[in-house]
Copies of this chain bind each other. A is one copy, B any other.
Amino acid sequence: MSAFEALGRPLRLGFIGGAAPSMIGQVHLRAALMDRRFVVVAGALSRDAARGRAAAAEYGIAPERSHAGVAEMIAAEAAREDGIEAVAIVTPNDTHHRFALAAIAAGLDVMLDKPMTNTVAEAEEVARAAEARGVALVLTHGYSGYPMIREARALVAAGRIGAVRSVQLEYLGSGLAARVEDSPDAAKRWRLDPAHSGPSLVLGDIGTHAHHLASFVCGEPFAAVSAEVGALMPGRQVHDYAQLRFRMPSGARGAMTLCQGAAGVENHILLRVIGSEGHLEWRHAAHNELRLCPLDGPPVLLSRGQPWLSDAATHATRFRRTGHPEGLHEAFANLYSDLSELAAARRLGVPPHPLATSAPGAREGLAGLRFVAACLASDAAGGAWTELDDMTA
């Protein structure tokens, strides 16, 4: 029996951010509700009171539990017997640090949108605080919630492709393919301001996803990177592409191509892990599938719902039969499910279900920020190999 089943009830969740025009807030909301493991009861959805009220109605939050400020919400909820037990933080990147610290200080479990913070120092602070206070913190590297990504991780761990030798990632999007610098769209505007989106837009936005996917599937961190980071579009002030090589402690080599200005690309992610005995290939456009290509036999098409998949994949699947497609909402919901288990376990003082412990947390978030910092340091040094462990700022 899982800790969540032992708890026997959904957890009470408050939202920080999420009012229109946020798209990611809606994704979090649907994911949090999908398996009825959370009820959304409070929110500080917008600094703008009118927007906050409108969003509260949409989120099903009673007016009296909709607040304009985070501190206010935390205080008000702490005073209630049925106050929130966890928060979802879906605000711009530069606020993650202070809102996460506030929630942790209040003993709330945290679902935090990525990147964890904008700097390594901030990430270290959040990680230390979460550990000290003992709260659960899950970072929404949503792609790691896909069942076939979890299958890939299980296959690598089980040695199905032998020793990992080469890891290849592509993450290409078209959000910055056209000139959006003058767009009135607020969702885009904060991203274009490094004060809000952090030192490198492309690395924070999609680089940390690719970095986490690689580490998650291979089961090891990045040791060092050699990177080129910059802007493909002439005159652009933020980074829209990066090309990097990396090394893992095992000696595995990697290559990663990141681009947010890829005209005509539809949020393309490719992950290929080549081992001594075979390789795995996963593409976001066919995320319900995973190709396992052994050295000594024909390629095999694994797909979500097949009965011979790992527990990790099956556990993360709702349609436990093939050919019934799930999507990104379910992947996010798998992270919410993990958070509910971790939170229930700590409340009951029992160990969480082992399958819930793979969710990306503070340690992974910190690794992501070190990755960003190392890429920028390498780029500044003409692409010189740079160790992630040396990153402190």
Residues of A at under 8 Å CB distance from B?
A: 10, 23, 26-27, 30, 33-34, 36, 58-60, 161-162, 165-166, 168, 170, 172-174, 177-178, 226, 228, 230, 232-233, 241, 243, 245, 253-255, 257, 259, 261-268, 274-279, 284-287, 291, 293-295, 297-303, 305-306, 308, 318-330, 382-385
- On whether the beta carbons of B265 and A253 are closer than 8 Å, the reply is no
* 24 A-B interface contacts by CB (under 8 A): A23-B320, A30-B318, A161-B263, A165-B261, A166-B261, A168-B170, A168-B257, A172-B274, A226-B228, A226-B383, A230-B253, A233-B276, A263-B277, A264-B278, A268-B323, A285-B323, A300-B300, A301-B301, A318-B329, A324-B328, A325-B327, A326-B328, A382-B384, A382-B385
Q: With contacts A228-B253, A255-B255, A383-B384 known, what are 7 further pairs, Cβ within 8 A? A: A178-B295, A232-B253, A255-B257, A264-B279, A264-B295, A267-B321, A329-B330
- On whether the beta carbons of B166 and A232 are closer than 8 Å, the reply is yes
Of B36, B228, B326, the contact of A329 (CB 8 Å cutoff) = B326
- On whether the beta carbons of B324 and A264 are closer than 8 Å, the reply is no
- On whether the beta carbons of A298 and B293 are closer than 8 Å, the reply is no
Of B166, B267, B306, B384, the contact of A322 (CB 8 Å cutoff) = B267
Asked if A322 meets B26 with Cβ closer than 8 Å, knowing A228-B245, A301-B301, the reply is: no
Of B27, B299, B308, the contact of A297 (CB 8 Å cutoff) = B308
Q: How far is the CA of A142 from the CA of B321 in the complex (A)?
A: 16
Asked if A274 meets B263 with Cβ closer than 8 Å, knowing A326-B327, A383-B383, the reply is: yes
Q: How many copies of this chain does the complex contain?
A: 4
- On whether the beta carbons of B36 and A58 are closer than 8 Å, the reply is yes
The chain B residue with its CB closest to the CB of A287 is B325
The chain B residue with its CB closest to the CB of A263 is B295
- On whether the beta carbons of B287 and A298 are closer than 8 Å, the reply is no
